[in-house]
Copies of this chain bind each other. A is one copy, B any other.
Amino acid sequence: LAEEKIVTAALLVIGDEILSGRTADRNIHYVAEHMTRVGIRLKEVRVVPDEEDAIVSAVNELRARYTYLFTTGGIGPTHDDITADAVAKALGVGIGHDERALALLHAFFAKRKLEPTPARLRMARIPHGASLIRNAISVAPGFRFGNVIVLAGVPEVMQVMLDDITPQLDTGAVMQTTTIKLNRAEGEVADIFAAHQKTFPDVTMGSYPSFSDGRISTQLVLRSIDSKRLSAATSALELMLRANKLL
């Protein structure tokens, strides 16, 4: 088996509204699924408030630790949108009204007969040296500087920006998954499952209980980038569960 390439990422969600409970985040799960699908391993998520110090230190810790850092939130026109400036500060580069972003916004405003107010033009503030990420919905762009990728917080806009940037990303081996569903409590299969993990140390195994309608069930999830090993581990586990009348 050749050494497989591993590409990692972190997601930084920026916004008081998530931490106060006013808004339920819809980006974490979407980004997690997207990363798994394209072959990037999401290794950490953080949620921080709209505060410069918190953003700057999270950006610097996470961009150093992972292949990519994605951020969501805080790039709109209002005074609480401080992500672009905070990211520029973290990167140690200047920031100003970007000519390319201004052209996009002016064209959009002209078509919609909107006034190019100073607040609206704040959305053209882009760190010097960054490339733009296309926003097919509301034009105001995201941006990428090195391994830092800055996306909108509104889920629909975040999603089109993610589609725009994904073809430019380095990706690694795609994690394959199998799931075995049991109408059993975790405790009934835990010893067999732990022994099975030792037999297949290269296949990551997790157990997820759930309750619904007063009934307990468990999903055993096996994950590997090697589909043959995954298939072998899954079949062997199913056989063992059947032999013990657990499946």
Chain A interfacial positions (CB closer than 8 Å to B): 13, 15-25, 28-29, 32-37, 41-50, 54, 76-81, 114, 117-120, 122-123, 137, 154, 156, 175, 177, 185-187, 189-191, 193-194, 197, 204-211, 221, 223
Contacts and interface: CB of A to CB of B under 8 A. Distances in A.
Contact of A78 (B33, B154, B207): B207
A42 B19 contact: yes
Given A20-B36, A21-B37, 4 more contacts: A17-B206, A28-B47, A76-B209, A119-B191
Contact residues of A: prevailing secondary structure: mixed
Given A20-B177, A47-B45, A54-B44, A190 B120 contact: yes
A16 B44 CA distance: 10
Nearest to A24: B29
Most buried by B among A20, A41, A114, A187: A187
A120 B21 contact: no
Nearest to A79: B194
Copies in the complex: 2
A171 to B, nearest CB: 15
Nearest to A42: B19
A77 B186 contact: yes
A123 to B, nearest CB: 8
21 contacts: A16-B206, A17-B206, A18-B28, A19-B32, A19-B43, A19-B44, A20-B42, A20-B223, A22-B208, A25-B29, A43-B48, A44-B54, A50-B206, A76-B186, A76-B207, A76-B209, A77-B190, A79-B190, A79-B193, A80-B197, A114-B187
